[in-house]
Each structure stands twice: as structure tokens, then as C-alpha cells.
């Protein structure tokens, strides 16, 4: 589902892009058309990008899997027999939320203090655990553990 845009001078004069047909004897051109179709790419250039006295061909191509992002493609006269393509593309980047994540150094933790405080907590915890719900016991345990990690790690 990622956006894909491919553009450049491909030099396949044997391809008629309006019908996707290829003149006989041009297997590379035929394979190129089929490859673009296999990847669901749409070719957007409709006017010749190279003109000579005897021919006009679409050689400079723009392929995409999302043609709606192109608002306009303009053909300008070039300095040689090739034209110049200009265009506008509407792309909205995905903005990732930046989150700060705290990484604790457990190898530097004060485990003696954690063990001492956890021993004190366990005596209080075990005195009344039967009178509390499983949820209350879990929350009590989790909160004490989180507090110890914050203080000693």
C-alpha cells in the first residue's frame, strides 16, 4: 500500500501508451508493459516527449500506483528534441508520534533495597490477600513493584 512513483527516460518508442500495444518484434517493450501492469502501475504521460522530423514518441514516462496525487503534468518545449515535463504532486507524509521511552539500567539497580522493601510489603500483602479481590491484589502488587523500579533502578 506504499506510494510508488517511477519516472525517467525509458526509451521504448515501440509502445503505444494509449492502447498499451507494442509493435511486433519488440519483446523488451512487451515485457516492460506487462511488468508495469503486473505492479498495477499507471503511466501518466499522454503527449510525445520527443519529436523529430519523422516521428513523435512518448519516451519520458511517469508511473505511479496512485495517479490521483498528480494534479497537473505539463509538457514544455525543451532545448533539444526532448520536451520537459513539469508536474505537481500532493504527498502527505505520515507523521509519526515521537515518544520518549525510558530505558532502565537493571544492571545498576539497588537490588538489596528492592528485596528489603519487597519483604516488608509481602508481609502486609499476605495478611489480607484473602479479603481482597484478585484485581485488587494484582493492582497492589503492580503498584508496589512499579514504585520500587522507579526508586531503585
Q: What is the pLDDT along the chain (153 residues), one digit of tens a residue?
A: 788 999 999 989 999 999 999 988 889 999 999 999 999 999 999 888 888 888 888 999 999 999 999 988 888 887 788 888 888 998 877 777 788 888 999 999 999 999 999 999 998 899 988 999 999 999 999 999 999 999 999
List Cβ neighbours of 111 (8 Å cut-off, separation of 6 or more). 152
pLDDT in tens, 12-25: 999 999 999 998 88
In the chain, pLDDT over 70 holds for what percent of residues?
100
Residue-level pLDDT at 82: 82
> Residue 128 corresponds to which cell in the numbers above?
489480607
Residues in the chain: 153
What are the boundaries of each domain within the chain? 5-89, 106-152
**Rounded to 10 degrees, what is the CA torsion of 49, 53, 54, 60?**
-10
Query: Rounded distance, CA 9 to CA 48, Å?
Result: 12
H-run or E-run covering 140: helix 134-152
Report whether 148 contacts 120 (CB < 8 A). no
Residue-level pLDDT at 76: 85
- E strands within the chain? 5-9, 15-16, 21-22, 42-43, 50-51, 56-57, 60-64, 70-76, 84-89
Amino acid at each position: 500500500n506504499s506510494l510508488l512513483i517511477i519516472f525517467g527516460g525509458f526509451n521504448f518508442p515501440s509502445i503505444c501508451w494509449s492502447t498499451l500495444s507494442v509493435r511486433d518484434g519488440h519483446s523488451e517493450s512487451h515485457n516492460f508493459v506487462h511488468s508495469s501492469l503486473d505492479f498495477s502501475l499507471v503511466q501518466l504521460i499522454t503527449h510525445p516527449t520527443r519529436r523529430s522530423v519523422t516521428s513523435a514518441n512518448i519516451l519520458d514516462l511517469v508511473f505511479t500506483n496512485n495517479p490521483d496525487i498528480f494534479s497537473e503534468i505539463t509538457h514544455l518545449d525543451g532545448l533539444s528534441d526532448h520536451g520537459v515535463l513539469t508536474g505537481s504532486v500532493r504527498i502527505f507524509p505520515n507523521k509519526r508520534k515521537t515518544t520518549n521511552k525510558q530505558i532502565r539500567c537493571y544492571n545498576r539497580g539497588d537490588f538489596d533495597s528492592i528485596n528489603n522493601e519487597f519483604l516488608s510489603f509481602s508481609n502486609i500483602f499476605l495478611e489480607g490477600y484473602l479479603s481482597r479481590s484478585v484485581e485488587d491484589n494484582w493492582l497492589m502488587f503492580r503498584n508496589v513493584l512499579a514504585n520500587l523500579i522507579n526508586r531503585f533502578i
